[in-house]
Amino acid sequence: MRIAELSRRSGVSIPTIKFYIREGLLPGGERTGPNQARYSQGHLDRLALIRALRDLAGLSVSAIARICAEIDRPGAAVLEQMAVVADALSGGDAAPAESPALEAALEDVRSYLEELGWKVRPEAPALLRLASALVTLRALYYPEMPAGAFAPYAKAALEIVTVELGERGALMLHEPALGLEGVVKGTILWEPVLLGLRRLAHEHVLGRR
Amino acid sequence: MRIAELSRRSGVSIPTIKFYIREGLLPGGERTGPNQARYSQGHLDRLALIRALRDLAGLSVSAIARICAEIDRPGAAVLEQMAVVADALSGGDAAPAESPALEAALEDVRSYLEELGWKVRPEAPALLRLASALVTLRALYYPEMPAGAFAPYAKAALEIVTVELGERGALMLHEPALGLEGVVKGTILWEPVLLGLRRLAHEHVLGRR
DNA sequence: CAATATCGGATAGTGAGACTATCCTTTGGG
DNA sequence: CCCAAAGGATAGTCTCACTATCCGATATTG
Nearest to B147 by CA among B198, B177, B183, B109: B109
Q: Express each pLDDT in A73-121 by its tens digit.
A: 877 677 778 788 888 877 655 556 678 899 999 999 999 999 999 999 9
Q: Express each pLDDT in A124-151 by its tens digit.
A: 889 999 999 999 999 988 899 999 999 9
> B131 CB contacts (<8 Å, ≥6 apart)?
B102, B105, B106, B108, B109
DSSP type of residue A141: S
Question: Interior CA angle at A194 toward A128 and B79, to 5°?
Answer: 105
Nearest to A154 by CA among A196, A189, A120, A202: A120
Percent of chain B with pLDDT over 90: 58
Please answer whether residues A75 and A103 qualify as being in contact, where contact means their C-beta atoms are separated by less than 8 angstroms.
no
Are B152 and A160 an interchain contact pair (Cβ–Cβ within 8 Å)? yes
Distance CA B130, CA B133 (A): 5
Q: Is A161 on the interface with B (CB under 8 A)?
A: yes
Distance CA B98, CA A146 (A): 46
Nearest to A108 by CA among A135, A139, A141: A135
Phi, psi of A191 (to 5 degrees): -60, -50
Please answer whether residues A172 and A189 qualify as being in contact, where contact means their C-beta atoms are separated by less than 8 angstroms.
no
Question: What is the least distance, in Å, from the CA of B35 to any CA of chain A?
Answer: 31
Distance CA B47, CA A140 (A): 10
pLDDT at B133 over 80: yes
Q: Express each pLDDT in B48-89 by its tens digit.
A: 999 999 998 889 999 999 999 998 887 767 777 878 888 887
Name the pTM for this structure.
Answer: 0.90
Q: Express each pLDDT in B3-58 by its tens digit.
A: 999 999 999 999 999 999 999 999 999 988 888 999 999 999 999 999 999 998 88
Q: Express each pLDDT in B156-198 by its tens digit.
A: 999 999 988 875 555 555 555 567 788 888 888 899 999 999 9
**CA dist A114 to A84, B19, B72, B209, Å?**
23, 43, 42, 18
Strand D: which bases are under 7 Å from protein Cβ?
Answer: 5-10, 16-21, 24-27
Nearest to B123 by CA among B134, B131, B133, B115: B131
Q: Is A170 on the interface with B (CB under 8 A)?
A: no
- For the segment B106-132, the average pLDDT, to the nearest whole number, is 93
pLDDT of amino acid B94: 52
Between residues A184 and A3, the one the model is more confident about:
A3
Q: Is A97 on the interface with B (CB under 8 A)?
A: no
Are A119 and B191 an interchain contact pair (Cβ–Cβ within 8 Å)? no
pLDDT band at A207 (very low <50, low <70, confident <90, very high): confident
- For the segment A16-45, the average pLDDT, to the nearest whole number, is 94
For residue B195, the chain A residues in CB contact (below 8 A) are: 191, 194-195
Phi, psi of A32 (to 5 degrees): -120, 0
Are A154 and B197 an interchain contact pair (Cβ–Cβ within 8 Å)? yes
The closest nt to A17, taking CA to C1', is D18
pLDDT at A54 over 70: yes
Question: What is the least distance, in Å, from the CA of B198 to any CA of chain A?
Answer: 5
pLDDT at A8 over 90: yes
pLDDT at B146 over 90: yes
Distance CA B55, CA B49 (A): 10
